[in-house]
Chains A and B, each alone.
Chain A
């Protein structure tokens, strides 16, 4: 099925099931505005998407229902049982149409005039009885679920469907049955008939199987995701870990036996276990960005409250970590960001006086390193004030003057991690209440993590949180040293070098410190034996192995006696009494059943005293920019047609790919057409020399808009690739946007619009805008909570020559604002969960950087009052959500106005 369609089906089905529940709640709770606006938003989303996809029948039903809901929301109508039933009936109708859509990929024929009339009447405050049998039956006859029985709570309505609607072949769905049951005893009516009467059954016999298949009610698409209790996943993970260990033991046994009949099944078990392990791991991983989602807003509020300018940069938001760990670090992180903003950063005036940029920067950076997740929180503020810390420490009696004198700066800084320590001169509402870093530290240590701090007075402070991947399974290298075996996480091992007196590599010493010449560089070495205080120093061994290890950008070698195999291990945290030994990140059980300690390369690097504080802030900023650009990839359909390089078109524009039998191609008005889903579809060849060869099949790329579709005749569909669409060379050739490098090849990007207008002159209204010819691409920020819409609009706007960045919420958009992104126009949906479009507009207008960026609202209920509300919030213009032409036109207008201003 078409991706767009299936995504639409999934999303809509999800929304519908939420709606079912919400509506019932609404009935009991008619005055809950939150509930109403949520319902309204959901119906609105359904309507908007239908409109864009060109599903007129669905759209009209949703639209009528939305109207009624709108009146409820504005308090112009009261919520009654009848009204709720009517809305529920609309939902059932929508579900019916959707199920046909899912099977045939097309809307069933027929109208829902009766329902819509009743909805419209409701919107005007009248209750219209259900139309007679004839009217409803005639147009709807050929398709099964046109009119699901209206199971109204209203007693008058109750038995209407059975009598009046012969096409109600579909047995009532479970929720309706429940409803009718509730009503029946009250009215003392005969039990409601769950199925239509026999003669009606017979009438609808041909539709029977479809209806039966429908009985499940739920859409197959909607069932692709389920919610699972986290405890269950947790359990599953533990079991899989044990399975992995058992598997390892079995493999160990197998290795010691030359020929075994268990070899083959064990091999299979091995593979299956690996895959199972991988799958279960994935279920638990979540990007750390989830824990950060609230930070931009928090920083914004903080900035307002403290009259500071704060830039929040978030890098590596996609770094995944165990969701349990994620939950636990959420609060400490929030606290630390708050601290950085409040204590760390100076006020704007102070910053300018110090020659720093006015806006202070708080950077969050997350990445994997050596089997850990590292999260850095750094600011470029005033740094820790050593004198203030000393004073406070003395004042609180934590330390004596003499002790202080003997302490290093680093040690003094550590005081801020002690309970009841805050150097903030005044207690603000934000921080400085004495519950501070000590709580953060305790929380992080609770999950086996560590927190480090580097601070330079006047330059800023960096906190580094290191969290081990508890329960995670990692690949580790097993080494031996001083008669004991240890595991080193494979991820930090770069290479292995054998060092012996007679080989080309040999350990040399500078004032006792061992080093190794490796490819013209000196590699610092750490003796594991010495570090772990294992037995006597036996330095004059003839043969050693060096495990070249990388931590961050520091590379060093660990001297070990022997190197064994690599093994998959389950990292288990060490017992609490051993947690203060920094050299170990955990322990595990090996395949042979013995316990082994896992070395922590970071700990070794720190213990060997070679870690240096590096000023990496500039470099990370650069990387951040780059990654943002790289993320803007889209799926492109690559095909060949005629001579020359391969052609590409954004996949989201494509409705379907078809293989057309050329024998069925007819000529209409001299142009080739083909019968397609009961309509004539014009075929437009890219290759001008194309001619119809009978008895052949030809691939056709189908573009669809509403009920019109057009087939672009190509020679061969080559591939679908994910790449950034960067048109490099413009072109004068009609039908081409230009050339781009896609999947490493020069590819012509097709101007789909050109071919669409070839088929239907009025496809885009009159004339396309020439935005693409302009030298600079206009940057557009698209804010819409529906992934479907983002997918649809992004390529459409890109093809029209805009550089589009799509985000799913106002919060996310504000995060871009914080990170310094600039846009020419912002398009925003109005109905969004969380920050609504209107709130977002206000936030944009209040922001420092985007105050003057034109804002276009994207919404399908554009009544004059809505327009007013939007304008007040700061929107410049309103565009109906499903009107591509209007959107493009408005964008052009807005940009022109902006340029003129």
Chain B
């Protein structure tokens, strides 16, 4: 009896997950992005970041988050955008990837949106190769489009080096 219960529960969550997924939204260069809320650990304001020499350019440095060392990734550079202007940068979303924390630097962090799977679409073939690589797809919102970022692909730097 009791052994069967959890299985049922998982099923039901799967069903709801298929219908609605929650995303933390962020803007970079006026584009709206979404990161699955379950992967997000924290949202930070401007931080003191230590540069790491010899690191890939996308690695902005590391910072101290309550005693844990977090590697900061400049998502702008990862997406092949220009260096941000001083005014626009500042917010970060901290995500957990394989037990390590990474701080994804974005221009602004917005609200959490619960999005329906009906609005989901694979990304259009014309999208930039770099963007296609790090995202899973696109949600059609009322006024704008939201690009879903895939954290593990975003942090896979080997692909950039190869490119």
Q: Residues on A close to B: CB < 8 A?
A: 242, 245, 482, 484-485, 532-534, 572, 575-578, 581, 583-584, 587-589, 593-597
* Docked-complex contact B102 and A575, CB < 8 angstroms: yes
Tell me the bound Cα distance from A484 to B54 in angstroms: 13
Closest to A249 in B: B67
Closest to B98 in A: A576
Which of A242, A576, A597 is within 8 Å of B50, CB to CB? A597
Closest 6 interchain pairs by CB? A532-B53, A575-B71, A595-B50, A595-B62, A589-B64, A581-B54
* Docked-complex contact B155 and A597, CB < 8 angstroms: no
* Minimum CB–CB distance for A446 against chain B, Å: 12
Known contacts A587-B69, A589-B64, A595-B69: A576-B100 contact under CB 8 Å: yes
Q: Residues on B close to A: CB < 8 A?
A: 48, 50-56, 59, 61-64, 67, 69, 71, 98, 100, 102, 155, 157
Known contacts A575-B62, A575-B100: A242-B53 contact under CB 8 Å: no
Tell me the bound Cα distance from A575 to B98 in angstroms: 11
* Docked-complex contact B52 and A572, CB < 8 angstroms: no
Which of B50, B54, B98 is within 8 Å of A596, CB to CB? B50
* Minimum CB–CB distance for B30 against chain A, Å: 28
Which of B48, B53, B54, B71 is within 8 Å of A577, CB to CB? B71
User: What A residues does B100 contact at CB under 8 A?
Assistant: 575-576
Closest to A583 in B: B54
* Minimum CB–CB distance for A240 against chain B, Å: 13
Closest to A586 in B: B69
Closest to B61 in A: A595
Tell me the bound Cα distance from A533 to B51 in angstroms: 12
Tell me the bound Cα distance from A484 to B62 in angstroms: 12
* Minimum CB–CB distance for B125 against chain A, Å: 29
Tell me the bound Cα distance from A482 to B54 in angstroms: 13
Tell me the bound Cα distance from A534 to B51 in angstroms: 10
Tell me the bound Cα distance from A572 to B64 in angstroms: 12
* Docked-complex contact A577 and B50, CB < 8 angstroms: no
User: What A residues does B56 contact at CB under 8 A?
Assistant: 577
Tell me the bound Cα distance from A766 to B109 in angstroms: 95
* Minimum CB–CB distance for A243 against chain B, Å: 10
* Minimum CB–CB distance for A638 against chain B, Å: 51
Tell me the bound Cα distance from A588 to B48 in angstroms: 15
Tell me the bound Cα distance from A527 to B54 in angstroms: 15
Beyond A577-B155, A595-B62, 20 additional contacts (C-beta under 8 Å) are A245-B67, A485-B50, A532-B54, A534-B53, A575-B69, A575-B71, A575-B102, A576-B100, A577-B56, A577-B71, A578-B71, A581-B54, A581-B55, A583-B53, A588-B69, A594-B50, A595-B63, A597-B50, A597-B52, A597-B53
Question: Could you list 5 examples of A-B contacts with CB < 8 Å?
Answer: A245-B67, A587-B62, A594-B64, A597-B50, A597-B53
* Docked-complex contact B69 and A572, CB < 8 angstroms: yes
* Docked-complex contact A578 and B52, CB < 8 angstroms: yes
Known contacts A587-B62, A595-B62: A578-B55 contact under CB 8 Å: yes
User: What B residues does A597 contact at CB under 8 A?
Assistant: 50, 52-53, 62
Tell me the bound Cα distance from A340 to B147 in angstroms: 54
Tell me the bound Cα distance from A534 to B50 in angstroms: 13
Tell me the bound Cα distance from A578 to B51 in angstroms: 12
User: What B residues does A581 contact at CB under 8 A?
Assistant: 52, 54-55
Which of B48, B54, B71 is within 8 Å of A594, CB to CB? B48
Tell me the bound Cα distance from A485 to B155 in angstroms: 26
Which of B53, B69, B98 is within 8 Å of A484, CB to CB? B53
* Docked-complex contact B64 and A593, CB < 8 angstroms: yes
Closest to A486 in B: B53
User: What B residues does A577 contact at CB under 8 A?
Assistant: 55-56, 59, 71, 155, 157
* Minimum CB–CB distance for A285 against chain B, Å: 24
* Minimum CB–CB distance for B65 against chain A, Å: 10
* Docked-complex contact B53 and A589, CB < 8 angstroms: no
Closest to A587 in B: B69
User: What A residues does B98 contact at CB under 8 A?
Assistant: 576
Which of B53, B55, B64, B155 is within 8 Å of A595, CB to CB? B64
Tell me the bound Cα distance from A242 to B67 in angstroms: 7
User: What B residues does A533 contact at CB under 8 A?
Assistant: 53-54
Select the residue from B48, B53, B71, B155 with max chain A CB neighbours within 10 A. Answer: B53
Closest to A241 in B: B67
* Docked-complex contact B67 and A589, CB < 8 angstroms: yes
